Amino acid sequence: MILCKELTNSDVANIGRIVLPKREAEAYLPPLSEREGIMLRMGDMTLAVTWKFKFRFWANNKSRMYILENTGGFVRAHCLRAGNFLIVYRNPTSGNHIVRGNKGMPQRSPLDSLQYSSSTLHVKKARSDRRHSPINPNKIIGHGSSSLTMTDMLYDLEGALLVLLTIFLNRCLFLRHLHLENLRYCYIIFLDYL
């Protein structure tokens, strides 16, 4: 997860734009050099739709305010209201963005805990007083140039299953046996099963 925004009344109004958190927008979305902005294509995590949002900024004193425009269809399709959440993910391999509308407090998704790092897989254990345990990712996922770091995964049955599913599906994506759209559906079916 690269961005999570609790929606306000103005975000879900008929204007069709959502104000984004500045820190996350600057850190994780493409840099903007002009106010006109750029078009961002984001796959929908739950619907078979690719949304075309305009990502731009407004000058605000000596700072910037980042917004997504053309969001009205997304808000209506997910029946979002003030207090609901807009969540944006980025596929670490392809760089493609995935968007999700959530009506309650955002729950952890397997996509939330995936990050690529240099050489080791870390699984954070349930108790905070324990240290991270490094695991050789080459034995698990089979490619050494980049590895997965999985944080905030509990050492219980559900956490272990999510880790295994994530490794398997990412390996399928890496080998191009599975398309990104199918990956989203696999996660949704699996999470519904739990």
At residue 19, does pLDDT exceed 70?
yes
Of 91, 77, 99, 84, the closest CA to residue 3 belongs to 99
Using one digit for the tens of pLDDT, what is the confidence trace for 81-121?
Answer: 999 999 999 988 888 999 999 887 655 555 444 443 333 33
pLDDT band of residue 149 (cuts 50, 70, 90) is: very low
Q: Has residue 39 got a pLDDT over 70?
A: yes
pLDDT band at 151 (very low <50, low <70, confident <90, very high): very low
| DSSP assignment letter at 145 | S
So where are the chain's domains? Answer: 3-102, 110-193
pTM flag (> 0.85): no
Beta strands in the chain (DSSP E): 3-6, 17-19, 38-44, 50-60, 63-69, 85-90, 97-102, 114-117, 121-123, 133-135, 147-150
Superfamily of domain 3-102: DNA-binding pseudobarrel domain (2.40.330.10)
**Mean pLDDT value across residues 28-56:** 92
